[in-house]
C-alpha cells in the first residue's frame, strides 16, 4: 500500500511539471500525429494532458479501486482520445479527451466492482454512477417536505429522474447493496465454524441414484437385445443402420444397397419396430417410458 501511494505521488508530481499547451501548439501536435504518426508529438500531447487524466481518476477513488490502476485506465482513455481526435473539427483536445478518459475509468470500475458483471449499457452505467447521489437528494427533498416515501416510490422516482426502466433500478440496487463474499469464509466467528461452501447443495447424482440408473440401463439393454434377436437378418440390419449408428443412414441409401425401393425399406423398418415393441411389452411394461 505504501509503495502504491508513493507511485501515485510520483506520477502526480511528474504530471504537474508537464508543459501547458496553448491551442496552436496543441493543434500542431494533433496534426503531426494524425497525418504523420509522429510518436514524439503523441508523447508530448499525452504528457501534457496526463494531469487531466489523474485529476479525473482521483474522483473515482470512492469506488475502492487502487489509485494507480485508475490512473492507468485514465491514461489508456487519454491515448484512445489522441488516436481518434480530429483536429479539423475545431474542438480543443482537452474537451474531447474528457469523454474518453471518463469512459475508460468507468468501464474499469464496473468490471472490477464485482465478480458478477454489473452491466455495460449506457443506462446501467448511468445508474451505477448516479443512483446513490440521486437517491440521497430525493430522500432529502421528501424528508424536508414531510412527505412519506416508501422504497417502491423511491425506485420509481429514481427511474424517472435518470431515465431508465424500473427493473434496471431494482437490479442495480441489489448489486450495490453489498460486495462479494468468499465461499471459503466461515459462517461464524468460531474457528470451528463451517465454511459457506459446505452448505451448498450437491447437485451431482448420489451413489444410490448412480447404481439405480446403471441397473435400469443394463436392464433396458438386455430387453432391447432380446427384441432385436426376434427380428430376421434384414430387419436387424435396417434397424441397426437407421437407429443405432452415430450417423443414421437414409432410406434411399439402404434401398440402393438392398435393391429395394425407399418406400419398401420404410415398410420393413415400421414392421421391425412393431415386432420390437411387442417383444418389449411382453418382457416388461416398465420399458414403455423409455420409448415415450
The grid cell for 180 is 462479494
Architecture of domain 209-291: Orthogonal Bundle (1.10)
pLDDT 10s digits, 189-230: 555 656 645 655 555 555 555 556 666 677 777 878 888 888
Cα 44 to Cα 28, 93, 235: the distances in Å are 11, 13, 83
Average pLDDT of the residues of the chain: 78
The grid cell for 163 is 431515465
Could you tell me which residues come within 8 angstroms of residue 30 by beta carbon, excluding any fewer than 6 positions away?
A: 41, 45, 82, 85, 87, 93
Return per-residue pLDDT of the chain as tens, 292 residues.
444 555 555 666 677 777 889 999 999 999 999 999 999 999 999 999 999 999 999 988 877 788 889 999 999 999 999 999 999 999 999 999 999 999 899 888 877 765 444 555 666 777 777 777 788 888 888 888 877 778 888 888 888 888 888 888 777 776 666 554 454 555 555 556 566 456 555 555 555 555 566 666 777 778 788 888 888 999 889 988 888 888 889 999 999 998 999 899 899 999 988 888 888 777 655 544 444 4
Q: Domain extents for the chain? A: 2-113, 122-176, 209-291
End-to-end Cα, the chain, rounded Å? 65
pLDDT of residue 17: 77
The CATH number of domain 2-113, selected from 3.40.50.970, 3.30.1180.20, 3.30.470.20, 1.20.120.1810: 1.20.120.1810
Amino acid at each position: 500500500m505504501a509503495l502504491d501511494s508513493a507511485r501515485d505521488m510520483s506520477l502526480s508530481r511528474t504530471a504537474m511539471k508537464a508543459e501547458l499547451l496553448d491551442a496552436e501548439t496543441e493543434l500542431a501536435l494533433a496534426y503531426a500525429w494524425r497525418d504523420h504518426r509522429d510518436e514524439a508529438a503523441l508523447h508530448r500531447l499525452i504528457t501534457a494532458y496526463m494531469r487531466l487524466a489523474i485529476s479525473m481518476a482521483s474522483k473515482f477513488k470512492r469506488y475502492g479501486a487502487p489509485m494507480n490502476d485508475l490512473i492507468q485506465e485514465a491514461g489508456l482513455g487519454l491515448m484512445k482520445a489522441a488516436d481518434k481526435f480530429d483536429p479539423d473539427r475545431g474542438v480543443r483536445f482537452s474537451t474531447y479527451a474528457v469523454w474518453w478518459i471518463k469512459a475508460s475509468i468507468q468501464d474499469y470500475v464496473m468490471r472490477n466492482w464485482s465478480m458478477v458483471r454489473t452491466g455495460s449499457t449506457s443506462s446501467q452505467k448511468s445508474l451505477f454512477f448516479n443512483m446513490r447521489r440521486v437517491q440521497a437528494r430525493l430522500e432529502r427533498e421528501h424528508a424536508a417536505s414531510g412527505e412519506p416515501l416508501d422504497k417502491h416510490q423511491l425506485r420509481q422516482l429514481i427511474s424517472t429522474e435518470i431515465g431508465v426502466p424500473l427493473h434496471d433500478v431494482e437490479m442495480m440496487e441489489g448489486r450495490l447493496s453489498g460486495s462479494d463474499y468468499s465461499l471459503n469464509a466461515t459462517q461464524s466467528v468460531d474457528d470451528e465454524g463451517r465454511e459457506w461452501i459446505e452448505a451448498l447443495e450437491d447437485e451431482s447424482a448420489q451413489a444410490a441414484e448412480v447404481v439405480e440408473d446403471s441397473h435400469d440401463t443394463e436392464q433396458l439393454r438386455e430387453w432391447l437385445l432380446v427384441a432385436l434377436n426376434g427380428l430376421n437378418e434384414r430387419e436387424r440390419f435396417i434397424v441397426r443402420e437407421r437407429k443405432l449408428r452415430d450417423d443414421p443412414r437414409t432410406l434411399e441409401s439402404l434401398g440402393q444397397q438392398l435393391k429395394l425401393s425407399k418406400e419398401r425399406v420404410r415398410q420393413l423398418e415400421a414392421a421391425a419396430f412393431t415386432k420390437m415393441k411387442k417383444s418389449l411389452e411382453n418382457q416388461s411394461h416398465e420399458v414403455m417410458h423409455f420409448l415415450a
